[in-house]
Each structure stands twice: as C-alpha cells, then as structure tokens.
C-alpha cells in the first residue's frame, strides 16, 4: 500500500508492505516444504536404490506434512483471534468499571513518546466521547494487538499447506523423472539448493534482512538437514548390511 502525504512542495509517498501475515505463512510453508522432503529423499537415497520408493515416501510425507502444517497454522490463527476478542472484552469492562485507571494508562502511553499530560488531555477528552475509538486505541498502543482479518485462520491454513506442497515437490521432481537413484539425488540437491537460495533471497528482500544473508542461511539449513539425513541413512544401512 502507498500512502501519499501532501506538502507545500511535493507529495511524499510512503511505501508500506502490509501482507506480513501472508508472507509469514508462505515462508513457514515453503521453508519446511523445501527442507523436510529434501532431507527425507536424501536419507532414503542413502539407504535404498529405488527411486519409486523415494517418490512414494516423499509424496506421503508431503501429504501428511501439509495437513499438519496447515492445521497448525489454523489453530495458531484461531488462537490469535480468540485472544484478541478476550482482551477487547476486558478493555471494554475496564473503561466502564475502572475509568480513572484507563485514563492514567493513556497518559502513560503518551509519556513514552515524550508527550506531557497537558498535551495529551485533548486527545483523552476526544477518546472519551467515542468508547469504540478508546478501546481501539488501548488495544493497539497499550497491548500491541491488531484485530485479525476475517477468515484469517482458513487463509493461513490454506496458504501454509499449499506452500508446503509446492516446496516439497521440488526435491522430489528428479526422482520422478530419473530412474537412477544416485543421479536423481544429485539433481535433487542441485535444484533444491537453487530453490532454497532463491527463496531465501526473496524472503530477505521482502522482510528487509538482506537477500544474500538470507539466501546463505536457507541454503545452510536445508543442506545441513539433507546431509545429516543422508549420512545417518548410509551409516544405519551399512550396519545392517
């Protein structure tokens, strides 16, 4: 969203990224989707020689993982919504039953921004004329809570689950196309590391943490998980050989 602030000289446009919750859900789904099936496929490749079994196990994991991740996202979003409603109801009661305490809390909030009581008094007077605005003010500036969007829980579940599936299919694709298990593993490592790098760079650019640093982090985490899974599978398979 772009906010235009008009001045006597020229309009000042502020760009704000407002889809934080959606980006967070995509990041959660994609990061796990790329990493977990990748590690599973690498681990199975170290123990068995059949690409078909790797694909079947990978698809089963993607199905189970997407459901579990989606359910987790749904429950988390529902919990946030229920917490917001509970806190809002409490603020409504306190404004009526403990009006003086709530007024002092508003003064305390403004003091954090170096606004004295005399300057804050007109704002308090205006808020007292509109209890809904007063409650909104307290929810945001006292508790730091924003009202969750409608159907947030369902959208979160769908976003996380679909992102998990999209990410999980990437490391499995070579096993679907190449019959040789070792060759499929090498291709899976290559395309998954590229996908992790692109995903990490995009995430870093969106959240402002630096694209290169974020790309290195995602590659390191995903690569380490796959390497450990592969090494353990080879070790355990060798012991039982």
* CB distance 30 to 199 below 8 Å: yes
Q: Is residue 11 part of a domain?
A: no
* CB distance 50 to 63 below 8 Å: no
Within 8 A by CB and 6+ apart from 28, the residues are 69, 73, 160, 163
> How far does CA 98 lie from the centroid of its chain?
37
Residue 72: the pLDDT is 93
Q: Is residue 6 part of a domain?
A: no
Q: Is residue 12 part of a domain?
A: no
Cα torsion 98, 99, 100, 102: sign:
positive
Q: Is residue 15 part of a domain?
A: no
Work out the pLDDT band at 74, boundaries 50, 70, 90: very high
Within 8 A by CB and 6+ apart from 74, the residues are 153, 154, 156, 157
Most confident of 105-109, 140-144, 165-169: 165-169
Range of the domain at 191: 20-240
Q: Is residue 234 part of a domain?
A: yes
Q: Is residue 195 part of a domain?
A: yes
pLDDT mean across residues, the chain = 82
Which one has a higher pLDDT value, 199 or 160?
Answer: 160
Per-residue model confidence as pLDDT tens digits over 105-125: 888 888 888 888 888 888 888
Domain count, the chain: 1
The residue written with tokens 């003010």 in the block is: 137
CA-to-CA distance for 160 and 32, rounded, in angstroms? Answer: 10
Most confident of 162-166, 179-183, 221-225: 162-166
Q: Is residue 5 part of a domain?
A: no
Q: Is residue 68 part of a domain?
A: yes
């Amino acid at each position: 969203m772009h906010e235009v602030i008009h001045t006597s000289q020229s309009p000042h446009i502020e760009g704000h990224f407002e889809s934080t919750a959606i980006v967070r859900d995509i990041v959660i789904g994609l990061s796990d989707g790329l990493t977990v099936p990748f590690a599973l496929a690498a681990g199975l490749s170290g123990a068995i020689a059949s690409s078909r079994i790797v694909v079947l196990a990978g698809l089963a994991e993607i199905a189970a993982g997407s459901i579990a991740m989606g359910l987790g996202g749904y429950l988390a979003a529902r919990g946030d919504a229920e917490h917001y409603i509970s806190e809002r109801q409490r603020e409504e009661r306190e404004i009526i039953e403990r009006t003086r305490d709530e007024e002092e809390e508003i003064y305390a909030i403004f003091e954090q921004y170096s606004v004295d009581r005399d300057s804050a008094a007109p704002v308090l007077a205006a808020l007292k004329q509109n209890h809904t605005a007063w409650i909104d003010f307290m929810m945001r500036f006292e508790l730091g809570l924003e009202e969750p969007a409608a159907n947030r829980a369902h959208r979160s579940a769908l976003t996380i689950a679909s992102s998990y599936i999209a990410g999980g299919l990437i490391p499995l694709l070579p096993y679907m196309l190449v019959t040789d298990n070792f060759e499929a593993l090498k291709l899976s490592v290559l395309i998954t590391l590229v996908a992790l790098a692109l995903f990490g760079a995009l995430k870093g650019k969106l959240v402002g943490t630096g694209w290169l640093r974020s790309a290195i982090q995602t590659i390191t985490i995903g690569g380490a998980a796959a390497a450990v899974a592969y090494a353990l599978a080879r070790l355990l398979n060798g012991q039982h050989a």
